[in-house]
Homo-oligomer: A and B are copies of this chain.
Amino acid sequence: MKIAIMGYGTIGSGVAEVLRVNQDILQKKVGEPVELKYVLDIRDSIPEDNDKLINDFSIIKDDEEIKLVVETMGGIHPAYEFVKACLESGKHCVTSNKALVDACGSKLVAIAKEHNCNFYFEASVGGGIPVIRTIYHNYAGENLTEITGIMNGTTNYILTNMREKGADFDETLAEAQRLGYAERDPSSDIDGFDTSRKTAILLSMASGNRCRHEDIYTEGIRNISKLDFLYAGKLGMTIKLLGSVHQIEDQYFAYVVPMVIPKSDPLFSVDGVFNGIRIVGNCLGTTMLYGMGAGKLPTASAVVSDIIAAVRHQNEFQGIGWSEKMISIEPMSSNAFSYLIRVEGTYDDIVDDIKEFFLNEDSVLSPIVLDGRNDEFALVTDIMFEGDFMENVKEFEAKTGRRIFHFIRTKKDNSDDI
């Protein structure tokens, strides 16, 4: 099969490298050679070191020899127009571009179906972690009640370093930037937007329908401090930025928030730039997929797995089960959590107030106090709906004159036992 790559940045050049390095294995496994014919780079200048480089998309679209196109340009335009045109010409398309998949995935699947070719996007979530294909093949017969993942290596690297070094957010981010683990403008990672897009794709895969990542409540990690890690550590727990989706019959819940998780959660040990995605099915129980969620070659490897699938299904559309029906995500206030809250002052004289607003009748307050600090303490609330919690925080502060300095969500009511 002759193919083209559109976009020759990190991932695109990685795909060319994987195809070159593993060409013998590939040919053996798929039964025919996969031959790279064009590399499209729409920047004006064409470096002279690659005789496959072109800068005119129509060459790819009009070349009937090209049966598959890899899109690694990033962004929505012109990626969408190029992929759409290729699919309409019956060319299989493979992408690593989560923005494209999030915004236009269901539509591109429908176009692929109409033209009896395939649109694949394994690399758009979790890099080398085989999560998309696992959901639509292996777990197609499961009622997937929950998918929760650490899906951003930059934030996981920062949080892991904060825990290990007892460092604060700003200095850890600065170090990550110096080492190249965080962008100079880190907002997309640390404010959770990257995770939010991936979470939207996972909810689409799990539900078989469309959703908007803009509707997913998203909080990043800027407000996580070393104090938070000290309290979590006292509980034997840690803090991770999680993207999470839950399905309960026809209700869909999704959010991206930092959460305090226990050692028993398989995501607890997913550290540094690694990603992990925990999937819970009604018959399956809990599984977790772990690996490099980003990086040139791991992501390129996922792109190549899609090329293989396209070669194996070159004459048929492979149903992915992604309709264009839009589902709505329940408001954040209808999710239930426990909360690790940090309260101003000492607890002795406000035990009754804490119980009134944050604990069930038969619960006992177990305050967490850090050595040498009298200005605040922490506790884990009982489970309550987020809407109620927010009200209770306000009322507690008004009644006691004490501030809640910070809260982080922890184990959620409607998730399975971990």
Interface residues of A (CB under 8 A from B): 17-18, 21-22, 25-26, 28-31, 122, 128-130, 133-134, 137-143, 208, 266, 268-269, 274, 281-292, 295, 297-298, 300-302, 304-305, 307-309, 312, 318-319, 321
- For this complex, 27 residue pairs linking A to B, each with C-beta atoms less than 8 Å apart, are A21-B143, A21-B282, A22-B141, A22-B142, A26-B141, A28-B208, A28-B321, A29-B321, A129-B287, A130-B134, A130-B137, A130-B138, A133-B138, A137-B305, A141-B307, A142-B301, A268-B269, A281-B301, A283-B297, A283-B298, A283-B304, A284-B291, A284-B297, A285-B292, A285-B295, A287-B290, A288-B291
A17 to B128: give the CA distance in the assembly, Å: 33
**Which residues of B sit under 8 angstroms from A28, Cβ to Cβ?**
208, 321
Check B285–A128 contact: CB distance below 8 A: yes
**Which residues of B sit under 8 angstroms from A143, Cβ to Cβ?**
21-22, 25
Q: Which residue of B lies closest to A286 (CB)?
A: B291
Q: Which residue of B lies closest to A309 (CB)?
A: B137
A138 to B301: give the CA distance in the assembly, Å: 9
**Which residues of B sit under 8 angstroms from A17, Cβ to Cβ?**
283
Check A25–B305 contact: CB distance below 8 A: no
A11 to B189: give the CA distance in the assembly, Å: 44
Q: Which residue of B lies closest to A132 (CB)?
A: B138
**Which residues of B sit under 8 angstroms from A297, Cβ to Cβ?**
283-285
A281 to B22: give the CA distance in the assembly, Å: 11
Check A308–B137 contact: CB distance below 8 A: yes
- 16 more CB-based (< 8 A) A-B contacts, given A129-B287, A285-B298, A286-B291: A21-B283, A22-B141, A22-B282, A25-B140, A25-B141, A26-B141, A31-B319, A130-B139, A141-B301, A141-B308, A266-B290, A269-B269, A284-B291, A284-B301, A285-B295, A289-B289
Q: Which residue of B lies closest to A271 (CB)?
A: B264
A133 to B130: give the CA distance in the assembly, Å: 10
A140 to B311: give the CA distance in the assembly, Å: 12
A271 to B295: give the CA distance in the assembly, Å: 29
A140 to B19: give the CA distance in the assembly, Å: 12
- Other-chain residue from B137, B284, B290, B291 in contact with A137 (beta carbon distance below 8 A): B137
Q: Which residue of B lies closest to A308 (CB)?
A: B140
**Which residues of B sit under 8 angstroms from A283, Cβ to Cβ?**
17-18, 21-22, 297-298, 300-301, 304
A30 to B287: give the CA distance in the assembly, Å: 22
Q: Taking A25-B141, A141-B22, A141-B25 as contacts, is the C-beta distance between A284 and B298 under 8 angstroms?
A: yes
A305 to B141: give the CA distance in the assembly, Å: 6
**Which residues of B sit under 8 angstroms from A208, Cβ to Cβ?**
28-29
